[in-house]
A and B are shown apart, each in its own frame.
Chain A
């Protein structure tokens, strides 16, 4: 979403730069849906409404009737009332898109008011809005008189705000100058020229042209040749960013250029750089038509591009170059020249010079049909130049001079004379020597002890028979325990050679005897047959490790395993206790009942009775309540066991206990008194 937002904002600015109405370019549905999502159906202000409608218009998103109706209502309201100049300006802009029904008299009233504002205005922004509004009225209602009586004076009052470096101030009492304001001023000046009743003094126009040139001196630059405008300082006003500033300047410039007669001589590379800036932000390439540049009387940049910058000597394909305008349309008839080619490390000595590329009409590309025979594998810089057939076109198109393109020429490198040999350390005599065919799959088996040496050599030659030095040439020994030792193979002139003296390496090998696998790596960006292949193995007999020998380091952890999935965490739960079979438990439950039954039976046999139960009403009630109380407490205990917590239980027990104490005391003291009466009687 954020990407689209950026793209849309860029689109909006680009839209306001170019006068293009329809775009035959790569505007995708993604742009449209993002625009609809971004702007929605209702707009908070006329400015928002204008921006939204303009984007919809450019993207080809159909207007919804209800949106048009409500916005039109807002427009008419704004035009009718004495709203600020800014609102008038945007109301007129929206009206330009929606073509609302506005009474011609309304335009007349506004025009009169705006003319008064132009004369009174002290700030640049007011001037900009009022002149801009007058221009819009001129377009929308041709019968209204919008011409400025004192155009020269207005021109002068705007020009008075300009600074010596080509930037403008917002008002005469504000010392800060701004690049953004320069864009506004240029647009306003263009408006004044088009509204002038009489011709503006040419010398005034020429001073503005000079201002523009000065403004272009302060243009900022990226390393890749992208140019853009930015505010020099951030203060007071809200900082809007380079896109906002650049689009303001370019919009002002284009409107100004279209209003005046004659050409503004701007440097071609800066125009190209500005185009690059907008394209780099992600505005669809064909958003503007090339009319934009023609109108501006600014050269249309031509872009030279290569479908691929890699040329393979083994495939013998052709080097292709495509030239089109910066807006993606076809270039005029032209010839692409390959001025020269050189290696980046030897800039002065050209490998070849002055080749002309053939134009392939069917594909619209320029082809270097015969690749120069003396170009070997490696990295080169090709210098291209575009030569237009029509010399008049040079005023219309900017070719950008000489274009440097890095080219990789790749090929198959021949590996030859590979030899591996075991040498006796003292005498240097060859013990075993084997020729290796590195292209095949031959593997060698060697054995050596610490008094011997291992010698390995090979040659690399380019297709043209020169010695080739790759980026990487490594010799790797890998012990059975996965301990690796990598050696860089040095080259002596034509030959790559490595001699491993095991006597000096025993420390490095940690006295590990046993089988070492040998692996050879040769690789380079321009080597089409870069390889990594096993050569076989060598059985090393190394002496026993002395006591002081350094310990074997732990094997390095595979760095990729850190990013792999972690081992699954197995949660250990306590195993459930063994439970007895349910039947056994139930049996014992019934067994526990047996003593109770025995108790009851025993009671019966003893002849227990309730004769002592009080017969009179009050004590009997107390007795019953006493027993009920005890039962209630016991029942509460059962509840406590099943679901209640300790606090609830204790509170309830407290209440029940008090009750129980009372009735218990009553009944028991009654019983005691009756028994003592019996005794005394």
Chain B
């Protein structure tokens, strides 16, 4: 039973992976970027769990910077994805410009909060 379930899980992952392989490269880059941001945030959370929350504002700005970037990247991904008919009329360049602008504003706030 246990064996079959692990095999099922392997099958499931393999199916997922092959399905994902069909994703366009630009979306994959964005995914990679999101992963990078999330992992960076995770490492900071681990750090804060280990040593205590002393420069709490720095911690918050670090984590929120990563999370915010990740969210913005996800938004970019939604807008760039051609499958989403909702954003059909929106040029990907326009979406990228929004992404850059939002990131700049976000990081201005982050820097201000960093202390």
Contacts and interface: CB of A to CB of B under 8 A. Distances in A.
Answer whether A and B are interacting partners. Answer: yes
A668 B25 contact: no
A400 B50 CA distance: 101
Given A592-B40, A630-B100, A672 B29 contact: no
B75 interface: no
Contacts of B29: 603, 606, 608
A629 to B, nearest CB: 10
A646 to B, nearest CB: 6
Interface in B47-101: 47, 50-52, 54-55, 91-94, 96-97, 100
Q: Is the interface of B mostly helix, strand, loop or mixed?
A: helix
Interface string A630-673: 10011001101100001001000100010000001100110110
B36 A595 contact: yes
A577 interface: yes
A634 B107 contact: yes
Contacts of B9: none
Contacts of B111: 637-638, 640-641
Counting chain A residues whose Cβ lies within 8 A of the other chain, the interface size class is 35 or more
Contacts of A602: 32, 35
B51 A584 contact: yes
Q: Which of A584, A594, A668 has the most CB of B within 10 A?
A: A668
B15 interface: no
Q: Which of B39, B44, B51, B104 has the most CB of A within 10 A?
A: B104
B40 A580 contact: no
Contacts of A676: 91
Contacts of A588: 43-44, 46-47
B91 A606 contact: no
Contacts of A638: 111
Given A603-B32, A606-B28, A595 B54 contact: no
A598 interface: yes
B107 A637 contact: yes
A599 B32 contact: yes
Contacts of A669: 93
Counting chain B residues whose Cβ lies within 8 A of the other chain, the interface size class is 20 to 34
Interface string B14-25: 000000000001
Contacts of A677: none
Contacts of A646: 112
B112 A580 contact: no
Interface string A371-406: 000000000000000000000000000000000000
A598 B39 contact: yes
A575 to B, nearest CB: 12
Given A606-B25, A668-B94, A595 B100 contact: no
Contacts of A595: 35-37, 39-40, 43
B37 to A, nearest CB: 8
Contacts, number: 83
Q: Which of A580, A592, A640, A653 has the most CB of B within 10 A?
A: A592
A577 B54 contact: yes
Nearest to B31: A602
Given A598-B39, A599-B33, A606-B29, A592 B94 contact: no
Given A580-B52, A592-B44, A641 B114 contact: yes
A672 B91 contact: yes
A560 interface: no
Contact of B43 (A578, A591, A603, A665): A591
Contact of B25 (A578, A607, A634): A607
A620 to B, nearest CB: 16
A596 B36 contact: yes
Contacts of A607: 25
Nearest to B37: A595
Interface string A614-639: 00000000000000001001100110
A579 interface: yes
Contact of B54 (A579, A649, A653): A579
A598 B36 contact: yes
A592 B40 CA distance: 5
A48 B43 CA distance: 89
A671 B93 contact: yes
Nearest to B56: A577
Interface in A499-537: none
B113 to A, nearest CB: 10
B50 A596 contact: no
A612 to B, nearest CB: 10
A584 B40 contact: no
A664 B36 CA distance: 25
B108 interface: yes
Contacts of A668: 93-94, 96-97
B25 A672 contact: no
Contacts of B44: 588, 592
Nearest to A584: B51
A578 B55 CA distance: 10
Nearest to B95: A668
Contacts of B54: 577-579
Interface in A540-597: 577-580, 584-585, 588, 591-592, 594-596
A178 B28 CA distance: 114
| Shortest beta-carbon contacts, A-B, top 3 | A580-B51, A595-B39, A599-B36
23 contacts: A585-B51, A588-B44, A594-B43, A595-B37, A595-B39, A595-B43, A596-B40, A598-B36, A598-B39, A606-B32, A633-B104, A637-B111, A640-B108, A646-B112, A649-B108, A664-B97, A664-B100, A668-B96, A668-B97, A669-B93, A671-B93, A675-B92, A675-B93
Given A595-B39, A602-B32, 14 more contacts: A580-B51, A588-B46, A591-B43, A595-B36, A595-B37, A603-B29, A608-B25, A630-B100, A633-B104, A637-B107, A640-B111, A664-B97, A668-B97, A672-B94
Interface of A: 577-580, 584-585, 588, 591-592, 594-596, 598-599, 602-603, 606-608, 630, 633-634, 637-638, 640-641, 646, 649, 653, 657, 664-665, 668-669, 671-672, 675-676
